[in-house]
Chain A
Amino acid sequence: MTTLLSVHGLKVAYGGIHAVRGIDFEVASGELVCLIGANGAGKSSTLKGLMGLVPHGGSIHFDGERVQHAATHTIVARGLALVPEGRGVFGRLTVAENLDMGAYIRRDKPGIKADLARAYEHFPRLAERRAQLAGTLSGGEQQMLAIARAMMGRPRLLLLDEPSMGLAPLMVQKIYETIATIAGEGVTILLVEQNANLALKVSHRAYVMESGAITLSGPSAELANDPQVRAAYLGE
C-alpha cells in the first residue's frame, strides 16, 4: 500500500494555547484510519490544520507533495475533503443545492450528474428531501447530507470530523454503516471520533490522541483490546 498522507511534527496553536503539539501520522491509500481521543485532545484542530483552515507548523505531504501553507481551496482541489464538525450544511440552501456545492471544483457535468444519482441511491432520504432546505433536516439527515456533499467532490481522502456527534444511537449506527460502505468502495478515510468503540470497530488502524500529542497507535483490533485504551475510552 502506498502512503497517501504523511504528517510530521504537525503543530496547531491558537494564540498561546497549543492544541496540537507536533504529531506524526500516516494514512495509506485505501485505508480507514481513525484518530480517537477525549474532548479537547486536538483532533479537530488536526483536521483543520490538514485542510489549511488554521495556521499550523510541521510538514504535510499528500500523495508525495507538500501541501501545508496552501490555501484551503487549493488543498481541496488536490483531493482532500472535509466533513466538518457539526456537519456544516448550508442551512438555507436545498439538499440538491448543497450536493451541487459539493461538486464546486468539478467541471465535468456528466460525471457530476452520475455522482448525484449515486448519492441519491446511497441516501434515499436525501432524494426524497432534495427540494427541502438543509436546515430543516434532522441531525442524522444533515450528517448524511454532509457526507454525500463531500463525496460529490470525488475526494481521494475524506476527512470526517465526529460524524456521530449529537445523534441518536440508531442514527449513529446508520451513519457508520454508510462510512463502512464508502470505505468499501475504496475511498481513503481519516476519521476523527470521541466514540472510540465505534471508531475502532470500523477502522483498520487507529491513533490515540491526548492533550495535543499521539500517545498510542496500532491496528484498531489491537487497540480495542489494549487495557489502557479500554480503561480510558471504552469505559472499563
Chain B
Amino acid sequence: MLDSLRRRPRLAFALLAVLLAALPFIMGFGLGNSWVRVLDFVLLYVLLAIGLNIVVGYAGLLDLGYIAFYALGAYLYAWLASPHFGLHLPFWVVLPIGAAFAGLFGVLLGAPTLRLRGDYLAIVTLGFGEIIRIFMNNLNAPFNLTNGPQGMNLIDPVSVAGFSFGKTLHIFGLSLPPTYFYYYLFLAFTLLAIFIALRLQDSRIGRAWAAIREDEVAAAAMGINTRNLKLLAFAMGASFGGLAGGLFAAFQGFISPESFTLWESILVLCMIVLGGMGNIPGVILGAVLLTMIPEALRYIGDLQRATLGHVVVDPSDLRMLLFGVALVGMMLFRPAGLLPSRQRKREFAAEDGVAEQEQASLYDAKA
C-alpha cells in the first residue's frame, strides 16, 4: 500500500492533509481531550526539534542550551501580552518580535563561541541555557521583570479577528476546548517551519553549513564566510525556538523558569539524535515519539492499579529507564537514528568498503 502511495504523491499528500486535519478529533473523541493537549505539545516539540536541527544537524554546532531561546520567546510574549506590564499586543505582532528577540540572543551566544567546537561549545551553550533560566528565576528585584520563581500568569491567549482561543467553543452540539484551536495554529507554524527547513537544506546556505560541519578550515578555503554562516545558523535555530516559546506562553497562559530546565534542552537534543540528525522526517519522528511515549506510559500506572491494586513502579521512573534503554539500544542497532539522513545512512553502510578501495587504487596507480 505504501508503494502505491509513493507512486501517487498527490494522493498521499491529500490523505496526509486529511489525517492531520482530522487528528485532534480522532484523538479527542477516541482517547479523550487530554490527548489533544498532547498533540499540541507534540507540535511545539517538532518546532523546537526542527530549530535545534538547524544548529546541530545542519551546521554541526552542538548546542546544549537550546531551551533558553524557547524561554526567551515565552517571556517576551508574556511581557508584551499580559497584565504584568499592562501591554496586550496581538499575537501576530508579538510572535515575530519574540522570534527576532531569540534570534538576537542566538547571535549573542554565537559570537563569542565562534572558535569553539564539539565538547567545548557544548559546555558554553549549556552554561548559557542555565544563565538564562537563573536570570528568569531572579529578575524579580530590584525591578520586577520576570516575577521570579512564581512565574508569569494571565498571559493573553491567541485571538484571531475577535475570536479568542482561550475559551471553549460550543458549536453543533460539540464543545471544543482551546486545545483544538491551538492544534491548527501550531500545525500551521510547524508546516511553515518544515518548509523553511527543507528549503534551507538544499540551498546555498544549507550546503555551506554542511561544509562547515564537515571541516571548517576546508569550508573557509572554499570561500565560505564561516563566521557569518555560523552566526546565521545560531540565529535561525534560535528564532524557531523563540517562536515556539511564544506559542507555548499563549497556549499555557502561564510560564515559569521551571519549564526551561537543562532537561528540556537534553530532551529536544534526544529527539533529533533518536530520529535522525540532519533529516527532517527523522527529526519529526523523534519529536513525536519522545512526546507521545511518556504520555502513553501513564497508562502503565493505571494498569498496575487495576491489576495489583497499587502502583509498584512509578510510571515517571519507568519513563526515564525506558529512555535510557531506548537510546542505548538505538546507538547499538541504528547509530544514525531511526530515519537517518541520506548522508549518514551511506556513511554507516559504506565503512567496510574502504580497505578494499585502498587496494584497488594502488593497483590503479600502477597501471
Please list the residues of chain A having a beta carbon within 8 angstroms of any beta carbon in chain B. 51, 53, 71-73, 76-77, 81-84, 88-93, 97, 100-102, 104-105, 125, 132-133, 135-141, 146, 149-150, 153, 168, 170-171, 173-174
Q: How many residues on B have C-beta within 8 angstroms of the other chain's C-beta atoms?
A: 35
A76 contacts B346, CB within 8 Å? no
A84 contacts B217, CB within 8 Å? yes
A136-B354, A141-B361 known; A90+B211 contact, CB < 8 A = yes
- The answer, yes or no, to whether B366 is at the interface (CB within 8 Å) is yes
A76 to chain B, nearest CB (A): 4
The interface residues of chain B lying within 8 Å CB-to-CB of A153 are: 222-223
B74 to chain A, nearest CB (A): 35
B362 contacts A76, CB within 8 Å? no
A77 contacts B223, CB within 8 Å? yes
| C-alpha gap A71/B73 in the complex (Å) | 34
A116 to chain B, nearest CB (A): 15
- The answer, yes or no, to whether B279 is at the interface (CB within 8 Å) is no
| C-alpha gap A153/B222 in the complex (Å) | 8
B227 contacts A71, CB within 8 Å? yes
Closest 6 CB pairs of A and B: A88-B218, A76-B223, A90-B214, A105-B223, A170-B365, A138-B358
A73-B225, A92-B344, A141-B357 known; A84+B364 contact, CB < 8 A = no
Chain B 223-252 residues near chain A, CB threshold 8 A: 223-227
A73-B223, A101-B211 known; A170+B362 contact, CB < 8 A = yes
B221 contacts A88, CB within 8 Å? yes
A73-B224, A105-B223 known; A133+B211 contact, CB < 8 A = no
- The answer, yes or no, to whether B343 is at the interface (CB within 8 Å) is yes
10 interchain pairs (CB within 8 A)? A71-B225, A82-B221, A104-B208, A105-B223, A136-B351, A138-B358, A149-B222, A170-B365, A170-B366, A174-B365
- The answer, yes or no, to whether B310 is at the interface (CB within 8 Å) is no
Partner of B347, one of A104, A136, A149: A136
The interface residues of chain A lying within 8 Å CB-to-CB of B350 are: 132-133, 136
The interface residues of chain B lying within 8 Å CB-to-CB of A136 are: 346-347, 350-351, 353-354, 357
The interface residues of chain B lying within 8 Å CB-to-CB of A133 are: 343, 346-347, 350
Which residue of the partner chain A has the closest CB to B218? A88
A89-B215, A90-B211 known; A171+B361 contact, CB < 8 A = yes
A81 contacts B221, CB within 8 Å? yes
A168 contacts B362, CB within 8 Å? yes
| C-alpha gap A174/B366 in the complex (Å) | 9
Which residue of the partner chain B has the closest CB to A134? B214
A115 to chain B, nearest CB (A): 14
A140 contacts B365, CB within 8 Å? yes
The interface residues of chain B lying within 8 Å CB-to-CB of A141 are: 357, 361
| C-alpha gap A136/B346 in the complex (Å) | 9
| C-alpha gap A141/B357 in the complex (Å) | 9
B187 to chain A, nearest CB (A): 32
- The answer, yes or no, to whether B207 is at the interface (CB within 8 Å) is yes
A35 to chain B, nearest CB (A): 17
A88 contacts B217, CB within 8 Å? yes
